[in-house]
Chains A and B, each alone.
Chain A
Amino acid sequence: GEDVEQSLFLSVREGDSSVINCTYTDSSSTYLYWYKQEPGAGLQLLTYIFSNMDMKQDQRLTVLLNKKDKHLSLRIADTQTGDSAIYFCAESMKGGSYIPTFGRGTSLIVHP
Chain B
Amino acid sequence: GAGVSQSPSNKVTEKGKDVELRCDPISGHTALYWYRQRLGQGLEFLIYFQGNSAPDKSGLPSDRFSAERTGESVSTLTIQRTQQEDSAVYLCASSQDLRGELFFGEGSRLTVL
Q: Point out residues on A near B: beta carbons under 8 Å.
A: 2, 4, 31, 33, 35, 40-45, 48, 88, 90, 92-93, 98-105
Cβ–Cβ contact B106 & A48, under 8 A: no
| Additional A-B contact list (19), CB under 8 Å, known A31-B99, A99-B48 | A33-B101, A35-B102, A40-B106, A41-B106, A42-B93, A42-B105, A43-B43, A43-B91, A43-B102, A43-B104, A45-B103, A98-B48, A98-B98, A99-B45, A100-B100, A100-B102, A103-B42, A104-B42, A105-B42
Q: Point out residues on B near A: beta carbons under 8 Å.
A: 4, 31, 33, 35, 41-43, 45, 48, 50, 56, 91, 93, 98-107
Q: How many residue pairs bridge A and B at CB < 8 Å?
A: 53
CB-CB nearest in chain A for B97: A98
Interface pairs (9), CB distance under 8 Å: A40-B106, A42-B105, A43-B91, A43-B93, A48-B101, A99-B33, A99-B45, A100-B33, A102-B42
- Expressed in whole angstroms, the minimum distance between the Cβ of B107 and any Cβ of chain A is 6
Cβ–Cβ contact B106 & A45, under 8 A: no
Cβ–Cβ contact B41 & A104, under 8 A: yes
Cβ–Cβ contact A92 & B105, under 8 A: no
Cα of A101 to Cα of B48 in the assembled complex, Å:
12
CB-CB nearest in chain B for A33: B100
Cβ–Cβ contact B31 & A98, under 8 A: yes
Cβ–Cβ contact A88 & B42, under 8 A: yes
CB-CB nearest in chain B for A105: B42
Q: Which residue, of A4, A99, A104, has the highest number of chain B Cβ atoms within 10 A? A: A99
